Every structure is written in C-alpha cells, then in structure tokens.
Structure 1
Amino acid sequence: MRLSRGSAPRFWQRGVPAALALAALTFTTPAATATPATPAATATPADREAGCAHPSRLRVPGAEYQRSACLDELTTAGTVASGHTDPADWAGLTPKDLAVPRGVPGIQIDGYFPDTSATNTNHGWQHDAQFVIRLPDRWNGGLVVAGTPGNREQYANDRAIADWVLARGYAYAATDKGNTGLAFHRDGKAPGDAIAEWNDRVTELTRAARATVAQRYHRPPSRTLVTGMSNGGYLVRWQLENHPELYDGGVDWEGTLWRADGPTLLDFLPKALRAYPVYAAGGDGAAEAARALHAAGFPAGSEFLWPYHHKVYWDLTQRIYREELDPGFDGAVEAGTPFCASGTPACDTDYDYAARPAEVRRAVGKIALTGRIGEPLITVHGTLDALLPIGQDSDVYARMVREAGRGPLHRYYRIEGGTHTDALFDTFPDKLRPLTPCHRSAFTALERWIGQAGRPPASRTVPLPAGADPATLLTDCSLDGRDHLD
C-alpha cells in the first residue's frame, strides 16, 4: 500500500500522554541554527524524480509490512499536515516557542516488524514493533537511530530529535520499542521481557535501516549514531555496550539506569512517595521529610518541581515498572493501587527493592547496564532532574564506565538547571534551562570526535549562565565556553 503525497492516515485518538512515565522533553532550534553538516552526497533533481517515482521499491529487511511516500517535507513542518507523524505522540514534549526547521524533502517509510503484541494502534494497524524511516534527498552520509522516551510510540522524537538531524542531512529511523502505553508490562512471558524487547527492537531497526539507506543512496552510511532521552538514553547505553559494531557513537540524554544491585528507580521512588505527603502537609515533620527526599537523591533546589512530579510521575512510574519487574509484589492486582498510603497492604509506597526475592534482581539483570561501552558516548543530564535524580543515575553510570576501563570513550556533562522534562522550562523559565540545546551541542561534539576533528571538552558541570534570557537558553548551550550549536 502506498501513501500518496498529502494523504493522512488515521491515528488512534487519545489525549496528550503527559503522564507517560519517563517521557523526556526536547525542542528544535530555528532553521537558521539547523544548518546541515557538509553533505557527503546530494540528490540531483533527476535522482529525486527517479527515487520518488517508485519509493515502494525500497524494501526494509525483515519488515512484515511497510508503505512508502515521497514527501515535500520530512520535518514536522510538513508531516503534521500530510499525516506522516502523530502530534499526540509528541504533544507536550517541547517548549512552546520552538521553531521548526523546514525544507527537507525525501522519502518516508512506515511499517512494522513481526510481533505478537498490539499496544500500538497508529495507522489502525493494531500492531507493535512499528517503525519510521526518513530518507532526505540531501543526504550527508549519516544515519541517526532513536528509541522513544517513556512508553511512547515511534513518532515521539519527531520534534525533539528527528526535525533537527533531518535538517542536518541525516537519514533517521525510530522504533516504538515493541510495546507501548501504560500497560506495556503485559508484553512478554516473564518479568523483564518487555523492557528487554526494547533493546532487541533498536538493534533490529538499526540493521534494517542501514540496509535501507544503502538501497536508497547506493552505499551504506558512513556513520551511524544512536541517541535518545530517558528510556531512549538507556537504549543508547545498552546498544553501545552490547552492539558497538553497529554504531560509530551515541548521545545519551539522561538515560534510565538499570542494574541488579541498584540504584534504580525502584529504590528511590518509593522513598519519595513516603516522604512527599509529609513534606507537602507542612508542620513539624516537613523538614525531616525534605531531608529524606534529599537523601533519596532528589537534589536540593528542586523542591519547586516536587508537586508536579508527585502528581504526574513518581507514583505512576513506580507502579508500572515495578509491575514489569516484580509482578508478584501485589499478587493478582495489576500495577498496584495509585497513591496508596503507607501501611496499605501491597502498597508501592512501601516497596523495598533490597528486601525482594532474588528473582526480582534476576529480572533486572536481563536489562542491566555494565558501563562497558565500545564506542564513543556523550551523556548529558540535568542537575535538577526530579524524576531520575542525577546522583542516582548518570553520576553512577559515569562511574561504572570508568570502573569498566572505558573512561576514554565517555564524556559526561552535568547541566546545571536542567530537569527531566524540557516543557517545564515554559513554566519555570527563571529557574530552569532546557536540555535540548545541550543535547545538540553534545551531538555536534560527537560528530567532531568520531570525525577526528577534535576531542570533546572534558567532562564537567556546565554552569547555568548568569542572567541568560530564555530566548538564549532555548538556542545555546556552551559545553566549554566555545562549543556552540552549528
């Protein structure tokens, strides 16, 4: 089946997935700052006409179903109107003042790989393992692969990552990770299987996308980069540890940390759920509760973010990921009882990962990280992350990389004033900075690193510029005082 230019597939009608756990937020820079890297190959008008005459001739290896379209615009400046993205998938994930690059014609391929689950209803397919591959006419020789944040679908990174890298000339591929939504934990036969599938689906897509790129441009990509935020950042780490042969490097944006001996979110979120109601109530116990939250990893200075995270993220995230990895905790109840008070039977507020049976650690072991990366990796993480506290996540992962003897392959930038969700910058522009420009500075630094044009700045805490106005913070993040967006 072929999607004609301008056709609009019908998407599942759902609300903005603002409560999807571990959904990191980004934005795109104005077209003027999204200058493509020097193209290694540029399609001629004749080549474009030939490619778009029969886009369905491109076959994605292993795909069970696919459909292709030639589009005048591959960025969200055009795909919203043409129906080749799902705004509900990335709604709420970018600051309101974000400009969108445009002027990127090319081919888009949508489809899915064989799978037995059906949580993703995009296009009316009722089928998981959905993917999107975008092939710009003006190609710079590279491929960017991304897995989605949270439990979102394959279009979740369209504003955050795809728009910008497509404007730079990269081919782009993204996967829904094989299961989506708040009941993702129903997938798989055993605890940990649903998350383990995420890793397999990124590997699968990377191999297929590389082959598809070679078909379109008559040569394989000269560089393949993997990037993503939150759960997507976890996927970057895992891929570079387990399949470095597929990539030239990656950018990890506040990736989720999983390790059998902790820390994981199953360690610190129950502590937050116990302490926050006491803190919020005020009175004699509030100061002690605040100390408990700080001790759990939630940084001093992030208190203004706690009400939102308690309402939207902490409880939901704890319950659905605990259900995936430790379903026996609450017996036949699925994903616990929302916002249950401490002392309630089988309440996630009282969950104690360290006291759980060994089989729970074995489930986490299926998805655990080691730090043994095999290609260059750059990590960015905000110091005010109130969902995955930096001291319990990327600080630990950076140490794991060093202890594994892979420190020379890693750069780690702690971004002062950054939090887990960039959209909160709209609410607190005087207290936060968006991480998107920092991700992009890291991405361009990675390009230079793997291109042997210069090593990135040393790992460091990147200070929040004194007196910087919101417009500047939306478009700039200097990693060393000189490293600006191209």
Structure 2
Amino acid sequence: MLPVQAKELLSMIRKPRGAWLFLAFLALSAGTAAAHDADPENKATSTATVDTGVLKGAPYRVDIPAHWNGDLVMQLHGFEPIGTPRPAPRPPGEEASPFLAAGYALAQSSYASQGWAVDDALRDNERLRAWFVRRHGQPRHTYVVGFSMGGYVVLASLEHHGRHYDGGLSLCGANVPGTRVFDDILTSVVAFDYFFPRTPGLPPGGLADPAAPALGQMEVMHAVDAALQTDKHAAQLLATHLHVSRERLAGAIGVHYLVLHQMQQRAKGMPVDNRATVYAGFGDDAAFNRGVRRYAGDPQAMRYLAVATSLSGKIHKPLVLQYNHDDFLIPVRYQPVYPAMVQSAHGRAPTLLPSVGEGHCGFAPEQIMQAFQTLTREASGGPTG
C-alpha cells in the first residue's frame, strides 16, 4: 500500500483536505468577454439562484444565495489531470458552502482545458467575471480566491486584471513563475531516475523521457514506491533535497511525473532544459552531475512556458497568502519568492499568514474563511490581525 493512497492523492491535487474534502488543486478584457456556447441554465428558488453553462468551452457555475450580501467571490480550482471526467452541469463543490452561508455569491470556472492550464484559467476566470456582471449586475466588491495552481492564477489575475478586484487570496498556491516550478519538477524526476534506474514498470528511458509512453498516475506511484523501498538512503536523500517527508515522497514524484508529461503535451515539446544545470545536494554531487540524464528543451515549448506562466510582482491590491505544513507539492522555499518579486516591482506587499493544516491544501473550512476574512478586512482598510 502506498504511503498516500493514489486515489486520495489525485483528489488532493485539486482539493484541499480538512475536516472534509474541499474542492480546489493547479486574458481578455471585460469589454471583449462573451458567451457563444450552450445556453446557460438559470434556476431561481426561494433560497438561491444557480446559473450554469459553458463560456468559450469552459463549464461554469454561479451560485447566489437568497441573502446575497452584494459581494462576489471568483474561485479558482487547482490542477486537473487531462482526461478527468467532467460532470455537466458543473456541480457546486463543497467549497461553496461556507462562502454561500456567509452571503457571498460564488462563481467557478472549470477552464476550457485540463492540465497545467494557467493561461486558460486566467482568461476563463476573467470571462466569467464579466459574464456575471452583465447577467447578474455589478457586485459591491469582487474577490478572487484560488487553491494550488489556482493560487498562481490569483496572482496573475491581480497583475493583469487588478482593476476588477478588491483583493485576492492564494491558498496552498504555486506562487512562483512556472519556469521555476518545472525546473524543480524536472529535478525531481531525473534525480529519481538517477538513483533508481531501470525501475520495473517504468519507462526504460526514465520518468522524464519525452519519448516514453504515457503511464497512469496510480501505475507510476506504485512503481516509484516499490523502488524507494529498495534503497532507503537514496530515498531519504531525495526526500531531504525535495523538502518532502519520506512518507509523501512517492506521491510527490508521481504528481511531478504527471504534471511534466501533461505540460509536454500542452507545450508541444520539452518545456525545460537541464543540459547546463549543476546539481547539488544529492550526496556525491560530482557523480550525480556526471550520471544524471540531461534533456534539451524545445525552444518553442520553453517560450510557451515562460510566457504563459510568467509573474511580474506588479500588484496594487490586497493579497493574502497562506500555506500548509508538510505540503509535498509546494515546498517551503517557495513562500518568500512572490513577496520578494512584489518588493522588487514596488507593488503592494502581500500578507503572509502562518501555515496551518497538514499536506497539500489541508485546510479546514473555518481556516479558509479565517484567511478570507483577513483579506476582506485588509481590503476595507481595517486591521488584519
């Protein structure tokens, strides 16, 4: 049995976990946003209004409580593996409950594509916001809240469309430029390939091999976990370098494999290049650098990644960041990166809250709402403590 069950891990990519599962884990102007797809379904009852449909290929759901306070929350989910079934119409998700109970309208896009779809997420979220305004009226305040990959899109939304938002909340977010995320992901999989070559059940050329056939996530995780058992010293070296607890290491490597290969599909080539990378921290570094597999990045794919996943730090609206303890997908070293970018860009400094919960997006509902209340207080000019 895996340290983290494969089925559970798949849900954790997109969902925060607390007392119950909480759905989450990964640019057009308002004037050009338009709906040209299936007619929306708009249901009004004595308790709520539900508006579902598809905008430019992106399923969406809008929930407005009967006691609407006039404010809107745009909520961004995280990474959704390519091929994950999508029910229609889009279900509300358990994450809607605390916001709706507090009187907030909630708008959620499923994005037009799956995978590390941050560019689609940015466009589709903005399109849905503009659609909400046209269909339901201008909210008093609009906030953007995202989890994991969606947390990154919160930052991009404030950078590109900040005039439309009163503030943003990024929870367990991948709050660094995508080039850094994928450099680290490549390091993870090539390091595994170095220490555990020719692992049964995995491609002969290694997990990072662009020519390898796609494998299922559960299949990869089982093979990785079995290999880690054969060399506990190498497994601990990997865990230490990747800032992951040993029991979560197989899960982290399995997700890294999945995200890297799906980004190769999206970018139409290898989006990172490690031919000149000098690695350190893997024991005998000289031997590691001689023996680790090297990959040439595809120039077009690398340009796509650099443009689609860029961040500038130029924000001027309130931003609240919060992470989890022992998050096997968002390492602690990422936490100071975006605040430093904002400082360099002379933007408005974000508020970094103390970490809570365990694992990736391990927030309880009340913790999410406490972080959100910090954002609303800051946006209104009140104290954040």
What TM-score comes out, normalization by structure 2 length?
A: 0.70
Check the 8 A contact 1:385/1:420 in 2, yes or no.
Answer: yes
The one of 9, 14, 39 equivalent to 1:23 is: 14
Instruction: Write the letter of the residue equivalent to 2:119.
Output: A
Whether 2:229 is the aligned partner of 1:281: answer yes
Deviations for 1:204-243, whole angstroms, at most 9, x for unmatched residues? 11111123231xxxxx211000001012111111101111
Whether 2:301 is the aligned partner of 1:378: answer no
State the distance in 2 between where 1:390 and 1:150 align: 19
Deviations for 1:131-151, whole angstroms, at most 9, x for unmatched residues? 111121111110001122222
State the 1:364 CA deviation.
Answer: 1.2
| Unaligned ranges ≥5, structure 2 | 1-6, 21-32, 197-223, 272-291
Instruction: Write the letter of the residue equivalent to 2:177.
Output: R
State the 1:407 CA deviation.
Answer: 4.7
Aligned to 2:188: 269
Report matched runs for 1:264-343 at 5 Å. Answer: 264=182, 265-271=184-190, 273-274=192-193, 280-283=228-231, 286-296=232-242, 298-299=243-244, 302-310=245-253, 313-325=255-267, 327=269
State the distance in 2 between where 1:210 and 1:351 align: 51
Q: Aligned to 2:146, what secondary structure does the other structure show? A: strand
Q: Aligned to 1:438, what secondary structure does the other structure show? A: helix
Whether 2:108 is the aligned partner of 1:174: answer yes
Aligned to 2:71: 142
Instruction: Write the letter of the residue equivalent to 1:243.
Output: H
State the distance in 2 between where 1:246 and 1:109 align: 21
Q: Aligned to 1:22, what secondary structure does the other structure show? A: helix
Check the 8 A contact 1:237/1:255 in 2, yes or no.
Answer: no
Relative to 1, partners in 2 of residues 1:318 and 1:328: Cα closer, same or farther, differing over 3 Å? closer
State the 1:288 CA deviation.
Answer: 4.2
Instruction: Write the letter of the residue equivalent to 2:228.
Output: A
Relative to 1, partners in 2 of residues 1:361 and 1:381: Cα closer, same or farther, differing over 3 Å? same
State the 1:110 CA deviation.
Answer: 0.8
State the distance in 1 between where 2:11 and 2:263 align: 12
Aligned to 1:398: 339
State the distance in 2 between where 1:241 and 1:435 align: 28
- More relative contact order, 1 or 2 (CA 8 Å, 6+ apart): 2
Q: List structure 1 segments (4+ residues) > 6 angstroms apart after TM superposition.
A: none
Q: Aligned to 1:149, what secondary structure does the other structure show? A: coil
What TM-score comes out, normalization by structure 1 length?
A: 0.57
Relative to 1, partners in 2 of residues 1:147 and 1:314: Cα closer, same or farther, differing over 3 Å? same
Equivalences, count: 311
Check the 8 A contact 1:415/1:435 in 2, yes or no.
Answer: no
Check the 8 A contact 1:130/1:176 in 2, yes or no.
Answer: yes
Relative to 1, partners in 2 of residues 1:389 and 1:351: Cα closer, same or farther, differing over 3 Å? farther
Check the 8 A contact 1:241/1:373 in 2, yes or no.
Answer: yes
Deviations for 1:421-465, whole angstroms, at most 9, x for unmatched residues? 43xxxxxxxxxxx454333211001111111222x24xxxxxxxx
Q: Aligned to 1:382, what secondary structure does the other structure show? A: coil
The alignment-based identity, stated in percent, is: 19
Aligned to 2:303: 362
Aligned to 1:206: 129
Whether 2:62 is the aligned partner of 1:62: answer no
CA RMSD, 1 decimal: 3.3
State the distance in 2 between where 1:248 and 1:259 align: 23
Check the 8 A contact 1:106/1:134 in 2, yes or no.
Answer: yes
The one of 141, 146, 151 equivalent to 1:223 is: 141
Check the 8 A contact 2:192/2:238 in 1, yes or no.
Answer: no
Instruction: Write the letter of the residue equivalent to 2:41.
Output: R
Instruction: Write the letter of the residue equivalent to 2:93.
Output: D
